[in-house]
Amino acid sequence: MQDETLQDLLRYAARQGVQLTGITPRRLPGRGYGMVATCDVLEGETVLAVPTRALRTLATVPKAISRTLDRDVSVHGILAAHLVLDDTGDYAAWDAVLPTPDDLEAGMPLLWPTKLRELLPTPARNALQRQQTKLNADWEAVKAAFGEGKGKETNGDGNDTGEKLTKSKYVRAWLLVNSRTFYYTTPRSEATLPSHDDRIAMQPVADLFNHAADRGCKAAYAAQGFSFVADRLYKEGDEVPISYGAHANDALLVEYGFVLADNNRWDEVSLDAVLVPKLSSSPQDIIREDLETAGFWGNYMIDAATPGGCYRTQVALRRLLCGGTGAAKRTVWLQFVEGGGDDEDEEEGKEEREELLLECLDDMAELAHKTLTKIERLGKSNVGTESQRNLLALRWRQIEAMVAQAAKKLREGEDEEEGDDRKEAKEEKKEKPKKKEARK
């Protein structure tokens, strides 16, 4: 049975022209809301249509807000300001299903204690810093325009419920916009909003779809609005997701407040925490200078498909093995960077590169183990909430598992090569007995 909050949302959405076919939002145990098939849904069926008039966009923000902030704040920040300052009640049914402050605090690293944020993996920490910078700029402009703590909020009985605009309320609204908007472009927005990030819209009901890495309804938009089409057959009772994009779990954690527990084929692990110190240890930072000049400093990744490391990782490993000097080796490295190497160059030094990478993987495994121990200690000191610590620990266990799997594949590859060498030697003995005897 639907709860009354969802019933209110569906009634509100229907008045805006939103049409659901074969799906409905429901509470999912331990996961908040999600979309579920109410009957068998066939591939190619349109399960949700959201007309343009139902969207929240820059065009729906009152001019008193948008024009005041237009030059100083991102569209993201303007939509957040509207969420906080709106007192019309027009969106009350929609707002009622949005995540609560407690919901956001549990998952969003931006709201975690500093000691937990410091333990985030490198890509998540970097993404969080970018997020924080953008939020700070938006908040300072909104605060300057409308004044923190100015104006009172009242409930339906006319009772004072506190200040209308506070930083905590704005941060919540900003994170809601960050995690629940869809890319949306029109000829007008393309002409007036040069930044891709500013072409966004919020849409009712559709924002309750959960994420799946490799499947989900296909979203399309046109002048009349958005439509969501089933990508496969969904049986009655199945959850019906969409894909938010090709995101690794570090990005999902910072931007949306969750990680996929399994089956994220886009997931990857950064080796920066263990490889960058090695690269930075050369005299006068010669290696770093070379890598920065070539555009290959940082973002050294492994994933399930490339246990030997991405191209950036290979570039860095090759440069490290060249050492601080050695013009000949450095010339070969430059040829590789420029795509001028050959098969012989590829094989030369392969064993050393794999040994170095295995050393990095072992270091990363040790880092994961130490970090999990730190998280456990912070729990004993009651730093952060249990939900926050569990989510952070889950991410590090995923990293630990991916690193172990990559190391296993590399070592199995070494064993296979050694086995091939032994096999070739035996075949040589069979085919050339006279040569063997002659050497006695």
Please tell me the distance from the alpha carbon of residue 238 to that of residue 247, in angstroms, as a whole number.
23
Residue 21 has pLDDT above 90, yes or no: yes
Q: What is the pLDDT of residue 36?
A: 97
Q: What is the pLDDT of residue 190?
A: 75
Q: What is the mean pLDDT of residues 415-429?
A: 47
Q: Could you tell me which residues are beta bridge partners of residue 160? A: 154
Amino acid at 406: A
Cβ proximity of 179 and 131 under 8 Å: no
The token pair that represents 304 in the structure block: 């399930």
Q: What is the mean pLDDT of residues 246-274?
A: 95
Residue 10 has pLDDT above 50, yes or no: yes
Q: What is the pLDDT of residue 192?
A: 76
Residue environment code for 270-307, b if the CB has 16+ CB neighbours within 10 A, otherwise e? bbbbbbbebbeebeeeebbebbeebebbbbbbbbeeeb
Please tell me the distance from the alpha carbon of residue 68 to that of residue 54, in angstroms, as a whole number.
24
Question: What are the tens digits of pLDDT across the range 22-32?
Answer: 999 999 988 88
Residue 414 has pLDDT above 80, yes or no: no
Q: What is the pLDDT of residue 326?
A: 67
User: Where residue 324 falls among pLDDT bands split at 50, 70, 90?
Assistant: low
Question: What are the tens digits of pLDDT across the range 293-322?
Answer: 999 999 999 999 999 999 999 999 999 988
Question: What are the tens digits of pLDDT across the range 148-199?
Answer: 765 555 544 444 345 789 999 999 999 999 999 999 887 777 777 777 788 8
Please tell me the distance from the alpha carbon of residue 102 to that of residue 14, in angstroms, as a whole number.
29
Q: Contacts by 360-365 with C-beta closer than 8 Å and gap 24+?
A: 360/271, 360/274, 360/275, 360/278, 361/271, 361/302, 361/403, 361/406, 361/407, 361/410, 362/407, 363/274, 364/269, 364/271, 364/273, 364/274, 364/399, 364/403, 365/400, 365/403, 365/404, 365/407
Q: What is the pLDDT of residue 189?
A: 74
Cβ proximity of 267 and 260 under 8 Å: yes
SS3 364: helix
Question: What are the tens digits of pLDDT across the range 111-141?
Answer: 999 999 999 999 999 999 999 999 999 999 9
Among 188-202, 378-392, 397-411, the least confident range: 188-202
The rounded mean pLDDT for the chain is 88
Question: What are the tens digits of pLDDT across the range 69-79?
Answer: 977 899 999 99
CA atoms within 13 A on the CB side of 268: 23
The token pair that represents 187 in the structure block: 């000829």
Cβ proximity of 215 and 243 under 8 Å: yes
Amino acid at 432: K
CA atoms within 13 A on the CB side of 234: 27
Among 260-269, 275-284, 346-355, 417-426, the least confident range: 417-426
Q: Which has the higher per-residue pLDDT, 420 or 89?
A: 89
